[in-house]
Structure 1
Amino acid sequence: EGTVQYGFKDEEVNLGPGDTLYFDGLAAHSVRNDTEQPARLFKVYLLRPTD
């Protein structure tokens, strides 16, 4: 539902209903909704074990 924009250092990615995005969560990023409409996100975090 809705649209959002993910911003990265050199790139902006527009996402709409049904879109997916995979990226290294340690990379600097932002997410925003520039519309008047609500946007719904489903986020999954995959964590690596540390020593």
Structure 2
Amino acid sequence: MQYGFKDEEVSLGPGDTLYFDGLAAHSVRNPTEQPARLFKVYLLRPTE
């Protein structure tokens, strides 16, 4: 999997993790022909 951010791209392999501010513009893609699984966890900020 590859996560794209404004100025960089991060490659992830099996078992890798990535933590970032989800409010930042980002994209995710699978650059291979192989199936991939992605598990996301969202931590929401409390609002007033």
When normalised by structure 1's length, the TM-score is 0.91
**Distance of 2:27 and 2:38 partners within structure 1:** 14
Structure whose residues are more often strand by fraction: 1
Q: How many residues align?
A: 48
CA RMSD, Structure 1 to Structure 2 (Å): 0.4
Taking only the aligned residue pairs, the percentage that are identical comes to 92
1:11 corresponds, among 8, 11, 16, to: 8
How much has 1:16 moved relative to structure 2? 0.6
Note the residue ranges of structure 1 that are not aligned, 5 or more in a row. Answer: none
**Distance of 1:5 and 1:26 partners within structure 2:** 18
How much has 1:10 moved relative to structure 2? 0.5
How much has 1:49 moved relative to structure 2? 0.6
1:43 corresponds, among 40, 44, 48, to: 40
How much has 1:38 moved relative to structure 2? 0.5
When normalised by structure 2's length, the TM-score is 0.97
Question: Does 1:28 pair with 2:22?
Answer: no
**Distance of 1:5 and 1:36 partners within structure 2:** 13
